[in-house]
Amino acid sequence: MFDPDAPSSQMLRYLSRVDVASDRALKWGVLTNGAVWRLYWQDARSRSEDFFELDLAQALALPGTQPELDAPAPAHALRLFHLFFSRDAFLPQPWDAAGRTRHQHALNEARLYEEKVSQDLGARVFNEVFPQLADALTRDDLAARRHLSLQFKDDVLVGCNSVGWTEHVGVMRGMVEGQLRLGPWKDALLADPTCLMEAYLAAAQGQGQWSGAADTRRR
pLDDT band at 210 (very low <50, low <70, confident <90, very high): very low
| Residue 208 scores a pLDDT above 70 | no
How far apart are alpha carbons 180 and 164 in whole angstroms? 25
pLDDT band at 180 (very low <50, low <70, confident <90, very high): confident
H-type alpha helices, the chain? 7-21, 56-59, 74-85, 102-124, 130-144, 169-178, 185-191, 196-207
Percent of the chain with pLDDT over 70: 84
Q: Report the pLDDT averaged over residues 190-197.
A: 82
Q: Report the pLDDT averaged over residues 32-52.
A: 93
Q: Report the pLDDT averaged over residues 192-200.
A: 83
Q: What is the pLDDT of residue 18?
A: 94
The predicted-structure confidence for 100-153, as pLDDT tens digits, reads as follows: 999 999 999 988 988 888 888 878 877 877 777 666 655 555 555 566 778 888
How far apart are alpha carbons 8 and 19 in whole angstroms? 17
